[in-house]
Amino acid sequence: MLRYLNAGESHGKNLTAILEGLPAGLRLSSAFIDRELKRRQCGYGRGGRMAIESDHVDVTSGLRGGFTLGSPLTMVVNNRDWENWQGVMGADGPLKGINTKVLTKPRPGHADLAGGLKYGHRDLRNILERSSARETATRVAVGAAARRLLEEFGINVYSWVETLGGVSWKAPKTLNPEQLFEKAERSAVRCPGCTATDKMKKRIDEAKAAGDSLGGVYRVAVTGVPPGLGSHVQWDRKLDGRLAGAITSIQAMKGVEIGVGFTAGFVPGSQVHDEIFYRKSEKAVPPYFWPAKHPYYRKTNNAGGIEGGMSNGETILLRAVMKPIPTLYKPLRSVDILTGKAIKAGVERSDTCALPAATVVAEATVAFTIACAFLEKFGGDSISELKRNVTSYIRQTLKY
């Protein structure tokens, strides 16, 4: 069973994650995790915080000589901005500094008011520090470890931006996730289209000048997934439900589509369901990889690689929408929670658009969810045991 717990505040001393359940013998390095953390910090439209932070993971347990031990993996990401916030965020009082003023102006669209009401806080900093998307740094660290596990079995996770602030890029009918990912990695907004990239950057500039913020739509694709991850027998084991829940747990995510998504509600079934074909199977190389040309295949992938709550051997395709960030430099109307008087909402240092970074967080979140289902299906305390289990299953399905 793969699980993790993370902790830390946006301007606290550090962020911490403890990941349990990685099999022993997995090759993993701090540099690999740092690469993913760096990707999360990039993107046109990011704010001043990213000019301060340069995230680096400190692995304090569970890794020795570049290989996992099978024990919990502890990862710490320090906040460099802590130097400026010690007096405000210190564990022991009294608090001091220019930022110790009680925050009583909730931002529409943020966790401020709902969290304040739930926990009885009169200072909304006690809510916004933890609800901040800074928390996703540890999600990316955890996701990097999960990604490394999946790579051992030929499973890869990709993402790219399709719409930003109303500017859209039309994906080709035949998707090649790896190629689109490579193009997205060269784009400041993680969009594979050059013309669309320029238009999106211009839209971000316009929003920044107006003191506004932008969201958008992105795609996540997972290739090489063998059939049978997830289950049809219980609601909480369905892979599509778990993926949708995982993505919407990311800050500012408001909807998920799997495969053709909502389009399925507007056309007949004959245009939705993917016909099944059979061919003589080809030997997988290495033997524990799910082969690209497996015996049962589809010519379309409207289901997005998931049927009946289980992966079906096709590429898993997800689309998600991110709302604009709630912090606006021309703030919306709100109410002071101490006086009840009408005021302008509070302003915290923020981004104009964090969509490019959010796609990296989504990759990590999806990688972790797929890795959980993968380990549930195949088990094993070590990589060698896991590979034996996967190899046996793949050989079985190729003969089915």
Domains and CATH numbers, the chain: 3-399 (3.60.150.10)
Q: What is the pLDDT of residue 241?
A: 98
Q: What is the 3-state secondary structure (H, E, C) of 195-253?
A: HHHHHHHHHHHHHHHCCCCCCEEEEEEEECCCCCCECCCCHHHCHHHHHHHHHHCCCCE
pLDDT-derived band of residue 98, with 50, 70 and 90 as boundaries? low
| For range 232-237, the mean pLDDT | 97
Q: Are 344 and 333 in contact (CB under 8 A)?
A: yes
* Average pLDDT in the chain: 94
pLDDT-derived band of residue 134, with 50, 70 and 90 as boundaries? very high
Q: What is the pLDDT of residue 286?
A: 64
Q: What is the pLDDT of residue 100?
A: 74
Q: What is the pLDDT of residue 283?
A: 62
Taking the C-alpha atoms of 91, 93, 96 and 99 in order, what is their torsion angle to the nearest 10 degrees? 50
pLDDT-derived band of residue 352, with 50, 70 and 90 as boundaries? very high
In the predicted structure, residue 284 carries a pLDDT above the cut 60 = no
Q: What is the pLDDT of residue 282?
A: 61
pLDDT-derived band of residue 397, with 50, 70 and 90 as boundaries? confident
CB within 8 A of 276, min separation 6: which ones?
296, 297, 298
pLDDT digits (tens, 9 = 90+) for 193-217: 999 999 999 999 999 999 999 999 9
In the predicted structure, residue 300 carries a pLDDT above the cut 90 = yes
| For range 155-180, the mean pLDDT | 95
The fraction of the chain above a pLDDT of 90, given in percent, is 83
Q: What is the pLDDT of residue 97?
A: 73
Distance CA 138, CA 364 (A): 10
Q: What is the pLDDT of residue 53?
A: 66
Distance CA 47, CA 350 (A): 5
Q: What is the pLDDT of residue 265?
A: 96
pLDDT digits (tens, 9 = 90+) for 29-88: 999 999 999 999 999 988 755 556 689 999 999 999 999 999 999 999 999 989 889 889
Q: Model-level pTM? A: 0.95
In the predicted structure, residue 128 carries a pLDDT above the cut 60 = yes
In the predicted structure, residue 172 carries a pLDDT above the cut 90 = no
Q: What is the pLDDT of residue 233?
A: 97
Nearest residue to 314 (alpha-carbon basis) of 306, 326, 325? 306
